[in-house]
Chain A
Amino acid sequence: MTDATSADLPVRPQGALRRLMRRKLALLGVAVIAIVTIGAIFAPWIAPYQPQEQMFDGLTLEGSPLGPNAKFWLGTDLLGRDLFSRILYGARTSLIIGVVANGLALIIGTLIGVTAGYFRGWIGAVLMRFTDLMMAFPALLLAICLAAIFTPSLWIVAMVIALVNWVQTARVVYTETSALAEREFVAAEKTLGAGTARILFRHILPHLVPMIIVWGTLGISTTVLLEATLSYLGVGVQPPTPSWGNIIFENQTYFQAAPWLVFIPGAAILLLALAFNLVGDALRDVLDPTQRGRE
């Protein structure tokens, strides 16, 4: 129907955005991310209670947490704190970890992978052996060591997670780059006199974008959970600051008595990861010019 016109539509950002908006699932993902982000930013105004506030009427007379009710929308936790408020504040932590730490990991991984894959030789060998070493080293142990050296804070935890999580990205980007570097169009660019920077940034990186997007969206749930693990081990975000991961870990032993304390933050992590996944998928298709006219 719009074959002829869409073929002439340039893939400028606004065009890409418009086509992104045409996908219902992607729109749903954008909506979820927007809601979580707004909730995190405006948490002090939205949250009905302070996240650390232990309320007397937040527990039953026997001292067990309350299920979702009219006063505490998502129930309360073991210390009588409002779960809804904690989830809102926790979104700040989890978004920073999921987006910043994960983004940093992607950048480090891509840089190392592209450098090693394009230049090969001894640079590539050194970088990739280092990557293999990092891969073989237990990530959790490394994170614990790093977190023990630096005083744990949210930003330190984000750094630590980035330093642990770049490895897989580097490995995959390396493989893909070394395949791309052998492609004939790269040879063609060299014969035109294109410099290394032009080849890397104009001709190799764009081909890696789809893969980086996929790894990025997959990385969100793993980094959020890694943060939770670190918190659980006492080297992550320090209580009483809430994060989705540490809410789960604080309450997991009472799973049978108070399942909402695990399910609700779990569902939040899942929903956020899914939302990023949907957007990432759509972005990959929309940004790929070779898909034009084939839809």
Chain B
Amino acid sequence: MIEVKDMTTGAAAAPDTAPPVLQVQGLTISVRAEGRERPLVSDLSFTLARGETIAIAGESGSGKSLTSLAIMGLLPPPALRVSEGRILLNDQDLTSLSESRMRTVRGNRIAMIFQEPMTSLNPVLTIGLQLAEAIRAHEPISKREARARALEALKAVRISEPERRMGQYPHELSGGMRQRVMIAMALALRPDVLIADEPTTALDVTVQREVLDLLRDLQREMGTAIILITHDMGVVSEMAERVIVMKQGRAVEQGPVRQIFEAPQESYTRDLLAAVPRMGDGSGAPARDGDAAPVASLRDVRVRFDIRGGILSQVTHRVHAVENVSLDIMAGETFSLVGESGCGKSTIAKALVGLVPHQGRIEVAGHVLGGMKSSDMKSLRRDVQIVFQDPMAALDPRMRVGELVGEPLLIHAIGTPEERRERVAGLFERVGLSRDQLDRYPHEFSGGQRQRICIARALALQPKLIVADESVSALDVSVQARVLDLLAALKREFGIAYLFISHDMAVVENISDRVAVMYMGQIVEMGTRAQIFGNPRHPYTKRLMAAVPVPDPTHRRPPVPRLAGEVPSPVYPVGEAPQRLPLRNLGDGHLVADAPEPM
């Protein structure tokens, strides 16, 4: 039966009378270490009705992913195990099943999709083969039938050209398509329960929108119950009927989504919701006046990467990562670049700090980049610094953090060893760490602390511009909020300008003075925060903002046409280049590109 309901608001309410399909009772998961058992998840209970969506929300380390692995019977032995409690699937206790019995349940009655679809798919098998195999693992049907079922499943997830996808390999598909394939695989056997562990976290916001819509439609058609595990309160409010908020292995609050968002009982839930950045209309703090001198200015900057092919490995294609980007970053302002993955925003960051060669003119603090002597390059380093997305990757794991933060001073021969140590200690205290921690190694810190270490290192040379490349994207919301506060305080204190690169529109709105929206290597819209968020003009900007999940269950999403198209590729054969998008000035520095075609 097809339910005719409003397709744009939250999912339909589950019938109250239906027996629960899954019951978790007093679940405790323990880890064995040093001969002792320590609970990681304690006494978690919930029930899931047919066709219902329950969200488990929490920050990293809250035990939400462990819970999903326990339900799947995938806890890595021997260290982790379910030490107490029961998991009942249609009255059958999963914790007491043998591995071989569990295998008939897994994928068949309970299916799971993971955050990163690339690692969940086998890279050397075609999509069709993997889908057919997944079906044949549980149903005794012929290969031909399985192929037909696989094709059907691909059609159900509204993937473009499903016949062609059957013969393709995972790397030939985009992230969004791969996640669709994972969903097709999970739902091909019509499981009772689908566990989605951060299913859209690795996806761009517009793709996320499509995948979430798809999950909701499929759930309606098939009556599958969904356990949605996410850290994103926006996704929670749009998808779930009930929410469990977890913290350090315990459910701190549980209830209907509206109640959690409107009247949270526990202080942790309130703090969590307060830390979530929200998107508004760009009003609020006034944008800075435009009198300041530019600290960095880019004119017609292009970055292209060669793709070699053929026997003689000559250049056949080029990736036009950045095309004719011109912008100015004023002293002491926060300039944000937003856009989806592959739009070239990170490439601009790398070009600005001299990590990738570019064409066009980049001027930073009076230095013109490109063709510089290494000594000039070194003095440029003092004026522009970068903070990367993943602090663990950006810190040499074999060095003490004190040495790491002091290294820029050492490289530029500033001060004596004692002075340097004193200055590093001062920097540590400034970013909210203690000087006792100088002799530790990066792995001994939490993610938020590591990002503070990276910020301290960037500050060491007192730069005029700090490039923050997705610097808060990998952090939990509460940690993210504190790091953003720190960045804002440093800006006031030292007059540093930021080039803030992010895909998260809500974060960008909260911290930016001016914003530029990038699409396919070019800027399509640029202006003050109020201009961009209050009066977006370019269709891509509008689409990007409409796609952001809103952490408010009462929010009614205006009907937006469903998009199933693919993001076009920035790869062109040699000799061809994308059309240049001229920017029109709408007044007061609000620049917009003409939309070439309906996007």
Contacts and interface: CB of A to CB of B under 8 A. Distances in A.
Given A192-B457, A198-B411, A290-B398, A184 B381 contact: no
8 contacts: A184-B390, A184-B393, A184-B394, A185-B396, A188-B394, A289-B397, A289-B398, A290-B398
Interface of B: 350, 353-355, 374, 377-378, 381-382, 385-386, 388, 390, 393-400, 407-408, 411-412, 439-441, 443-444, 454, 457, 461
Contacts, number: 74
Contacts of A193: 377-378, 381-382, 408, 411-412
Nearest to A209: B398
B444 A292 contact: yes
A117 B407 CA distance: 24
A140 interface: no
A193 B380 CA distance: 9
A10 B381 contact: no
Interface in A168-213: 183-185, 187-195, 198, 202-203, 206-207
Contact of B396 (A191, A203, A293): A203
Interface of A: 7-8, 10, 183-185, 187-195, 198, 202-203, 206-207, 288-290, 292-294
Contacts of A187: 350, 355, 388, 394
Nearest to B378: A193
Contacts of B411: 192-195, 198
B251 to A, nearest CB: 29
A192 to B, nearest CB: 5
B441 A184 contact: no
Contacts of B385: 191-192
Contact of B439 (A10, A189, A288, A290): A10
Contacts of B350: 187
Chain A interface SS verdict (over half): helix
Nearest to A199: B396
A288 B441 CA distance: 11
Q: Which of A183, A184, A191 has the most CB of B within 10 A?
A: A191
Nearest to B397: A290
B441 A292 contact: yes
A8 B439 contact: yes
Contacts of B461: 192
B356 to A, nearest CB: 10
Contact of A188 (B374, B378, B386, B400): B386
B47 to A, nearest CB: 38
Nearest to A193: B381
Give the one of B354, B382, B385, B394 with max A CB within 10 A. B394
Nearest to B393: A184
Nearest to A288: B398
8 closest Cβ pairs, A-B complex: A193-B381, A184-B393, A188-B394, A193-B378, A192-B408, A191-B353, A185-B396, A206-B398
A202 B411 CA distance: 12
Nearest to A196: B374
Nearest to B388: A184
B395 A188 contact: yes
B355 A189 contact: no
A189 B400 CA distance: 14
B412 A293 contact: no
B440 A7 contact: yes
A290 B443 contact: yes
Contacts of B377: 193
Nearest to B384: A191
A207 B398 contact: yes
Given A8-B439, A191-B353, A192-B408, A293 B444 contact: yes
Nearest to B442: A290
Contacts of B378: 193
B78 to A, nearest CB: 18
